[in-house]
Structure 1
Amino acid sequence: MHLRSLTMQALGPFAGKYTIDFEQLGASGLYLLEGPTGAGKSTIIDAIVFALYGKVASADSSDDRLRSGYADEDTETYVDLVFETGSGEYRVLRSPEWMRAKKRGSGTTKQQATVKLWRLAGPDGALGAGTADPAGGELISTRLDEAGAEIQRAIGLDRAQFVQTIVLPQGEFASFLRADPEHRRGLLQKVFGTAVYERVQDRLVAMRIEVQRAVAAARTDVGAAVAHFVGSAGITDEVPGPVGAAGPGELASAAELRALGEVASPDVLPAVRAHVDALAQAAADATRAEAAARDELTRARSVFDETRVLADAVARRAALRAEQDLLAERAPTHAADVERRDLARRASVVAPVLTAAGVADAAAGRARDRLARARSVVPADLARLDRAGLTAARDGFAAQVATLARVERLERDLPDRRRHLDADETTLVSAVAEQEALAVEAVSRPAARNELVSAITACQEVAADLPVRQQRAEAARTAGEAARTAETLAVTLAAAIAAAADRLALAQEAIAAEAYLRGRRLAGMAGELAAGLAPDAPCPVCGAREHPQVAALAADHATAEQVELAEGARTVAEAAFARASGIVTTLTERLSGQRELAGPKTLAEHDADAEQLGVLVAMAVTARSELDVLHAALADHDAATEEAAVRSRALDTAITTARVSVAALRSDLTSTEREIEMARDGRPTVAARVADLGAQVAACDALAAALEGAERAEQDLSTRSTELAAALAAQGFADGASARAALLPAADLTALEAAIAAQDAALARVSSGLAEPAIAALADDVVVDLEAARVAQAGAEAVAGAAAGAAVLAARSASSAAAAMDEVEAALALHEAARALAGPVTRMADLAAASGGDNAKRLTLATYVLVKRFEDVVAAANDRLLPMSDGRFELVRSDEREDVRSRRTGLSMKVIDHRMEAARDPRTLSGGETFYVSLCLALGMADVVTAEAGGIELGTLFVDEGFGSLDPETLEAVLVELGKLRAGGRVVGVVSHVEALKQSIAERIEVRRLADGSSTLTVRAG
């Protein structure tokens, strides 16, 4: 995958819109992403990952930080990315969820996340953000889930794999290189997602525990079933079998059965069956004994039943005769009760008429009293009137009340009508005053509007100049930074020149020292050779064995070791001078470039220009923000002017209407007051006069009602007296007193009638009973022996009951034992099934957990998977490490523990140093060695992850590393190795804030903070 271009707006610390052309930036294959810590370098990587996957790069970071806190509410946040894969060129435009200003009213509303994905026709197919569709491009999707799936299919990596392979966290892999196996395990699990194998391993262990528990539970169930059988069958240790079963030597005891059940032995089932067969035989014997006893009981019961019938008949005859004698003694009392009952029944017929006559007499007396009271409270002229006269007088009073009802309502409404008139008069005065105020205000409004229009024109002129002012301010800031950098570089260059001069002087001294020592050694070579001559030994120069004149060795003669040391010192001094000269050349070129950017002005002049232009930009920004306020004020002013005009016209109409209404109300109120005064007729109010007339009406009504009631009461009394006389004569009573004396209370009469009926029924029952054939046929001297028959039956019942109980117990014991035997059989079958199921599960769990004999290497499942992945990573890393280290270093995986604290094997690592042919601990590597070894590990990890994703080609790579801890020599070596990554067309972006990298990498993205806390970026390429 290759990145082509990135455009982002209102993202993170970047408030504005910025575009990065990766094709131009990565033309040389290597560029730098630099800036201060926290300025926003990682935001650029987050923007790329968000555009592709809808989430930021770090899984621990929140997507809420995507929306810039420095952007205006109306500025949209989006990322526009163009990238190319093997399946074509694509453009994705994505915006996160953010709170934007409402289009109507105040406040904010949620803007939902959106995405658009196009497949482009070619490199020219991508347009700027905000266009509907790219020219020549095909819109693939606008749905979040659908676009995400299409992008992942095109790239071939999910978000986690993309972050692991595109952004290489070298610091983490240096820690990985030096870490113990347990920490190394954590990173490998995170990268390859092998936690699923840990879960499989844990699940197998849990399954092993479950099946082992099932086997133990099944064994316990067998023991419980056998124990239940022992209790059900009544088996004991002293008497193994039940009563009536086979002898003790043929059946197992309770202890023997329980022992077999606790180990779930198959031998327990035959022993249980033997007990069941013995119990079944005992039950059959008890059943036969029970049948014989029941036959004997049936015969005894027949004899007893015949004797009991005869005894019952004799006893019943004696009871009936005794009751007959008692009834004869009560005959006189019974006759008196019958006579008294008949007299009470006739009196009860007269009782209602007698009561009604008494009620009518009392009512007539009360009516006469009411009439007397009614006449006493009315005027004498009304008291003398009959019912017709009272009705005529009452109608006259009521007619006057009806006539005054309307005037009474007018009198009640009079205060409200007066208040209404007062309110209308007050409203009229207020409307007139408001109309006069509006007329005064209308005169001054045109002048105020002209002032707003003038202010808007002035702000528009200043705001229109904002882009020019911003461009000039940015140019001034860039030139000022270049001037400031040039001053720093000048100081650094002077120091570098001085250092180069020192290195030159040291090199010249080393050259002179070497030349001097070489000359001295050549001059004294004869003495050096002579010093090595021995008697009779040939001369190495002439071959003679005689040495008459041996040259002497000078005191300042230089040895070969001294010359070699001088040569080495000269080589080191020359190399140091060469490096210092290179630094001077690089700094000179950079200083020239910065001075060209800075121009002829001094740093103070640039700062003054930037400050002045900043003020002008601020003025233009302020003017732009004030324009909205002024436009709103002008709109409010015009709206208020129109509203005042409408209000003035409405007031004209309202005032005219109100004046007419007030005059009409005042006239009507005066007429009503005169009518009310006439209707009062000397009383304080019309209501008082109506109340007096109403009292007269009520008095007439009361007196008429009293007259009518008295007449009805007298008529009712005469009727009731006639009815009473007729009723007394019909029932044979002389007067009302004799009828009242014969009356009985209802309860007493009911009791008397019940006693008479009981006597009559008893006489009939006794006579009927004595006439029954069985009683009449009995001889007077009959004798019955019931007790002897009862004793014989009781003996037979005892024998039969004992036999039945024995049979029931034997049958129940046999049935319970058979059911318990079924439980034992089922429990044994379940135990065998649990053992069969537990075997393979236990073996698999032991194999996965490395706790069984089948796992020869003692590797758990999760560790085995990680070891295989780790071997792939080491192999991929060695493909780069061997050539990168000139064949010196090679990584190998070891099964040995790196320290005694390691709990697992298989993830240890050694570094083979082929120069010494020795295995080294990774922690013994130097800083530079650790860097490129860990870099190879990271690239190897990226290759393995990529291969697992389908062999995806990664054309873009970001290397994120803390370069600040490297010395200059190591940094130079690292840059050489980074250059090797560009092979095959790969573009490498180095993410760092180290100043030294700026001198070595020309193409870069510079991220800088602004005064308000936001950030800006500049792309320097070509």
Structure 2
Amino acid sequence: MRLHRLDITAFGPFGASQSVDFDDLSAAGLFLLHGPTGAGKTSVLDAVCYALYGSVPGARQGSGQGMTLRSDHAAPGTRTEVRLELTVAGRRLEITRQPPWERLKLRGKGTTVDKAQTWLREYDPATRAWKDLSRSHQEIGEEITQLLGMSREQFCQVVLLPQGDFARFLRADAEARGKLLGRLFDTRRFAEVEKRLAERRRATEAQVREGDAALLADAHRMQQAAGDAMELPELAPGEPGLAEAVLEAAAVARATARELLTIADRRLTAAEAARAATGRELADARELDRLQSRFAEARERAARLAERSDAHRAALERMERARKAEAVAPALELRDAADSEHRRTADAEARARALLPQALADAGAAPLAAAARRATEELGGLESARRAERRLAALVEERAGLDRQERADEEVRQEAETWLADWETVRTGLQSRVDSAQEAATRAEQLAVQRDPARRRLTAARQRDRLTDDTEAARQRALAAAEDAVEARAHWLDLKEQRLHGIAAELAANLTDGTPCAVCGATQHPAPARKTAGHVDREAEERALTAYQTADELRAQAERHLGTVREALAAATAEAGDAPTAQLAEEAEELEGAYTRARATASGLHAAQEELRRAEGEREQRVAAQQQAAVRSASRVAGRDRLEREQAALEEELARARGNAESVTARAAQLERRAALLTDAADTARAAEDTARRLKDADARLADAAFRAGFDTPADAAAALLDDTAHRELQRRLDAWQSEDAAVRAVLAEPDTADAARRPPADLTAAERAAADADRRLREASSARDAADRCRAELDRLSAHAATSVRRLAPLREEHTRVARLASLAAGTSADNERRMRLESYVLAARLEQVAAAATARLLRMSSGRYTLVHSDDRSGRGRSGLGLHVVDAWTGRERDTATLSGGETFFASLALALGLADVVTDEAGGVRLDTLFIDEGFGSLDDQTLDEVLDVLDALRERDRSVGIVSHVPDLRRRIHAQLEVVKGRSGSVLRQRSTG
């Protein structure tokens, strides 16, 4: 990948359009990107990353990125844009990206947001022209990622080499290294394998436990079926041997159940035989008791029949008289019917005459009928007057309706006049509210534009004040750490010098007669040196060295923290200016208060406009209602005159028709009642006369029928009659007596019954008691046998189910054992994994070993052959192994942790590590050639000799037409590197100045 040209507009600190010609800068192979702190050196690299991936590196990305990438110095009408021209995989491409942009609306007020846009073009050497490839964000992102073969994180590590990240990588623990390497080499699939294995282990373990729990549940059910005679294994689900123990206990329970069933069968057979014998004895006793009871009952029934013989003869005589009286019954019924009818008509006639006037109370049927006809004729003559009366009532209601309408229209006119009198005042007030709300909305839009810059300046001022105190505190801590480091180094050197002076005594302590001296080779040691007071041994020197190294690391950390705080302070000061924080807070608060008040006032605009529209609509409705009421009032005058004339004519006609009654309807009601009463009285009088004649005829026929039937009077015949119920009851009593007499005679004549009566009384209670005892013993034996059979059947069923479950769980147990071993091995918790190294850590360890080997090739040259980076997979304490990184010092021959390197040593070690990581990631990405690299900061910690060595290594990267860009503000590099890209900051934004070797 080679960069050719970069165009930036309104991006980061660059307010205007800026261009970078990488072809010109790369001609020398090594170029410098420099400028003061906060000018925008890193923003140039951000623009390259944003053009390729649509986002910026590391912590500088965030939500609302399109807004944060835009320069605060850009003109309102200038849109943010980044255009990058590069060659990758033999293709020359041009990528243009525009982030989302909030701009003023072309029409109306307020702002709108334009969506992000992206273009991808390719240069065609044949036509020497650019052709469009795509305008889709997704398609362009996939195309660039596929061509580069790297994700954004990998690109930021191998092309934009951030030295600070690799310095932290050198001092980090295994977990932090694993996170960085995992992002770069994408080992998520190995972590996913660990996760899948762990999930599979948990799943199979849950299945095994579930199967064992079901097996234990079957065992508990077998124990319940066996009556707690079965002993359960004291094993939990998942423990080995549970299945065998359950099956063994089940076999014992089944054998016991079969033995109990055999015993129950034998007891049931004996109980059935005893029950049959007692049953026969009970049947004989019951038969004897039945025959004896039957004979005694027959004797008692015969005695009762003899007592009722007189009543039986009287019943026979009563039945004979009733049969004679039945011949007179029709005449009696006819006479009773005629008498009832005559009494009914006579009562009706008396009630009807009681309602007549006194003059007609004694009149016959004919005069009453004639009077009824006269009343009916008079009633027919009133029909016309009744219609006139109904019309008069309708006229009165109609005039009342007109009066109500007149009053309603008058109220409408009065209300409309009252409301319209205040219309101008109401309209003026509502229009004033609308105008005030519109002015407040305009003022709120103006204040909104001023509010956000004031907030940013206030936030920056507060950060500036806080960072000022933090800077002083950091400077004090850095000064104290430097003093502690100087003291620790002086103490270590003093101890080292003392140890060198007393080294002879330390060597003499190991001398033994006969053993050659390690210095002179003599076997005799007549006067070995002795340790003096205050002698310094090797352990004391090493403790002092360790203390010095710790103090020096604390010093380096304090200095780095001080630099970070100073850079943040400079950025906050540039944003806030020199204005006091209190003044900025007051200004921001005033703007916020004014904005809030304006928004509150403007929020009532819609309500005021709606209220004004509603008031105008109501005015139109009231004017229209007033006019309609006047029209309706005028139209009612002619109708009222017509109704008054018709009402007068009808009243005159009705006065003649109703006479002395209150109304024609009342007069008609009187005539209707009179006609009805007269008609009813005439009808009832005729009916009473007819029924009297029929009653006289019935009396004569009844006397004749009674005489022929043999009765002295009709009353005697009536007394001898029986109704159907009495006749049936008397006949039933006669039949029952005859049946009872025959039945008693038959029973007393039976030979078996008479023989049983001569025998002793039967002892039925004893026989029933013996049979009941036999029944109880039989039921108990049968229940015991059924329970034993159910127990045996249930144990057989549960045992078969348990055996099936054991066979089904066997493959699952084997799978769980295998998966558990694999999961433990991959997770680093297995005893077979001696170094407790996870699968992902194992893969990352192999990558780290490649990175260390690639970095060592450059580190040897930068350190003049002194340092070598080596990978270590030793365990650290109780943790897991695999991601250790050590440095081997050729001067001492010792291997130590990379965290013990000094500041300068850490720089070129991290640089070598970054270059080595770039080579490995490049190979991992498919061997894409990286012709342009950037190295960010860190050169200020090098001395002149080390700087020359580092530059030689970087200069060697130019082999095969590769260019390297160094991002630094170290002044000495400006003299050593002639091709430069300078970032100059100012009040109107930063600008780029390019200087090439020519």
When the two structures are superposed, what TM-score results if normalisation uses the length of structure 1? 0.56
Inter-partner Cα distance in structure 2 for 1:22 and 1:688? 118
Within 5 A, what are the aligned runs for 1:256-295?
A: 264=242, 266=244, 273=251, 276-277=254-255, 279-284=257-262, 286-287=264-265, 289-291=267-269, 293-294=271-272
Secondary structure (helix, strand or coil) at the match of 2:927 reads coil
| Kept in 2: contact 1:1004–1:1020 (CA 8 A) | yes
1:86 aligned to 2:63?
no
Inter-partner Cα distance in structure 2 for 1:196 and 1:116? 33
Within 5 A, what are the aligned runs for 1:277-356?
A: 277=255, 279-284=257-262, 286-287=264-265, 289-291=267-269, 293-294=271-272, 297-298=275-276, 300-301=278-279, 304=282, 308=286, 318=297, 321=301
| Kept in 1: contact 2:338–2:694 (CA 8 A) | no
1:1018 aligned to 2:992?
yes
| Kept in 2: contact 1:367–1:709 (CA 8 A) | no
Structure 2 unaligned blocks of 5 or more: 358-374, 423-619, 700-722
1:151 aligned to 2:144?
yes
Q: 1:390 to 1:265 in 2, by over 3 A?
A: closer
Aligned to 2:57: 57
Q: 1:389 to 1:920 in 2, by over 3 A?
A: same
Inter-partner Cα distance in structure 1 for 2:832 and 2:901? 39
Inter-partner Cα distance in structure 2 for 1:709 and 1:136? 118
Aligned to 1:638: none
Offset of 1:724 from its aligned partner? 8.3
1:117 aligned to 2:120?
yes
1:151 corresponds to which letter in structure 2?
A: I
Secondary structure (helix, strand or coil) at the match of 2:61 reads coil
Question: Cα deviations across residues 850-897 of structure 1 (Å, max 9, x unaligned)?
Answer: 444433444333332221111011111123223344433321123446
Question: Cα deviations across residues 464-504 of structure 1 (Å, max 9, x unaligned)?
Answer: xxxxxxxxxxxxxxxxxxxxxxxxxxxxxxxxxxxxxxxxx
How large is the RMSD of aligned CA atoms in angstroms? 6.2
Within 5 A, what are the aligned runs for 1:72-471?
A: 76-97=79-100, 106-107=109-110, 111-122=114-125, 135-139=129-133, 141-194=134-187, 197-198=190-191, 200-201=193-194, 204=197, 229=222, 232-233=225-226, 264=242, 266=244, 273=251, 276-277=254-255, 279-284=257-262, 286-287=264-265, 289-291=267-269, 293-294=271-272, 297-298=275-276, 300-301=278-279, 304=282, 308=286, 318=297, 321=301, 387=379, 390-396=382-388
| Kept in 2: contact 1:223–1:263 (CA 8 A) | no
Secondary structure (helix, strand or coil) at the match of 2:64 reads helix
2:994 corresponds to which letter in structure 1?
A: R
| Kept in 2: contact 1:304–1:786 (CA 8 A) | no
1:84 corresponds to which letter in structure 2?
A: T
1:951 aligned to 2:944?
no
Aligned to 2:588: none
Within 5 A, what are the aligned runs for 1:712-791?
A: 712=676, 714-716=678-680, 719=683, 778=750, 781=754, 783=756, 785=762, 787=764, 789-791=767-769
Secondary structure (helix, strand or coil) at the match of 1:983 reads coil
Q: 1:208 to 1:712 in 2, by over 3 A?
A: same
Secondary structure (helix, strand or coil) at the match of 2:254 reads helix
Inter-partner Cα distance in structure 2 for 1:954 and 1:928? 27
Offset of 1:421 from its aligned partner? 10
Inter-partner Cα distance in structure 2 for 1:867 and 1:997? 36
| Kept in 1: contact 2:185–2:921 (CA 8 A) | yes
Offset of 1:947 from its aligned partner? 1.5
Inter-partner Cα distance in structure 2 for 1:104 and 1:419? 51
| Kept in 1: contact 2:2–2:930 (CA 8 A) | yes
| Kept in 2: contact 1:401–1:694 (CA 8 A) | no
Inter-partner Cα distance in structure 1 for 2:672 and 2:916? 126
Count of aligned pairs between the two proteins: 726
Task: Return 163-172 or 287-296, whichever deviates more.
Answer: 287-296
Q: 1:395 to 1:853 in 2, by over 3 A?
A: closer
Q: 1:18 to 1:313 in 2, by over 3 A?
A: farther
| Kept in 1: contact 2:36–2:983 (CA 8 A) | no
Q: 1:274 to 1:100 in 2, by over 3 A?
A: same
Within 5 A, what are the aligned runs for 1:928-1007?
A: 928-963=904-939, 974-975=950-951, 977-992=953-968, 1000=977, 1002-1004=979-981, 1006=983
Offset of 1:938 from its aligned partner? 0.9
Offset of 1:92 from its aligned partner? 3.4
Inter-partner Cα distance in structure 2 for 1:827 and 1:846? 28
Aligned to 1:468: none
1:892 corresponds to which letter in structure 2?
A: V
Within 5 A, what are the aligned runs for 1:310-709?
A: 318=297, 321=301, 387=379, 390-396=382-388, 699-709=663-673
Secondary structure (helix, strand or coil) at the match of 2:960 reads helix
Aligned to 1:812: 790
Inter-partner Cα distance in structure 2 for 1:761 and 1:104? 118
Inter-partner Cα distance in structure 2 for 1:345 and 1:53? 125
Inter-partner Cα distance in structure 1 for 2:262 and 2:697? 90
Aligned to 2:66: 66
Inter-partner Cα distance in structure 2 for 1:888 and 1:146? 49
1:57 corresponds to which letter in structure 2?
A: P
Task: Return 706-715 or 383-392, whichever deviates more.
Answer: 383-392
How high is the sequence identity, in percent, across the aligned residues?
Answer: 32
Match of 1:927 among 903, 908, 911: 903
Inter-partner Cα distance in structure 2 for 1:832 and 1:269? 14
Q: 1:989 to 1:759 in 2, by over 3 A?
A: farther
Inter-partner Cα distance in structure 2 for 1:42 and 1:687? 108
1:839 aligned to 2:832?
no
Offset of 1:48 from its aligned partner? 3.6
| Kept in 2: contact 1:232–1:820 (CA 8 A) | no
Offset of 1:937 from its aligned partner? 0.4
Question: Cα deviations across residues 176-223 of structure 1 (Å, max 9, x unaligned)?
Answer: 223344443343334334455455446646655776677677777777
Question: Cα deviations across residues 535-590 of structure 1 (Å, max 9, x unaligned)?
Answer: xxxxxxxxxxxxxxxxxxxxxxxxxxxxxxxxxxxxxxxxxxxxxxxxxxxxxxxx
Inter-partner Cα distance in structure 1 for 2:793 and 2:153? 69
Aligned to 1:891: 869
2:822 corresponds to which letter in structure 1?
A: M
1:704 corresponds to which letter in structure 2?
A: A
Inter-partner Cα distance in structure 2 for 1:256 and 1:986? 79
Inter-partner Cα distance in structure 1 for 2:798 and 2:855? 70
Q: 1:707 to 1:888 in 2, by over 3 A?
A: same
| Kept in 1: contact 2:2–2:86 (CA 8 A) | yes
Task: Return 90-99 or 763-772, whichever deviates more.
Answer: 763-772
Inter-partner Cα distance in structure 2 for 1:50 and 1:366? 119
Within 5 A, what are the aligned runs for 1:15-26?
A: 17-26=17-26
Inter-partner Cα distance in structure 2 for 1:848 and 1:791? 81
Q: 1:813 to 1:923 in 2, by over 3 A?
A: closer
Aligned to 1:519: none
| Kept in 2: contact 1:120–1:138 (CA 8 A) | no
Inter-partner Cα distance in structure 2 for 1:263 and 1:385? 121
1:1008 corresponds to which letter in structure 2?
A: K
Offset of 1:170 from its aligned partner? 0.8
Inter-partner Cα distance in structure 1 for 2:205 and 2:924? 39
| Kept in 2: contact 1:89–1:122 (CA 8 A) | no
Aligned to 2:368: none
Offset of 1:314 from its aligned partner? 7.5
| Kept in 2: contact 1:185–1:866 (CA 8 A) | yes
1:874 aligned to 2:848?
no
Inter-partner Cα distance in structure 1 for 2:340 and 2:60? 106
When the two structures are superposed, what TM-score results if normalisation uses the length of structure 2? 0.57
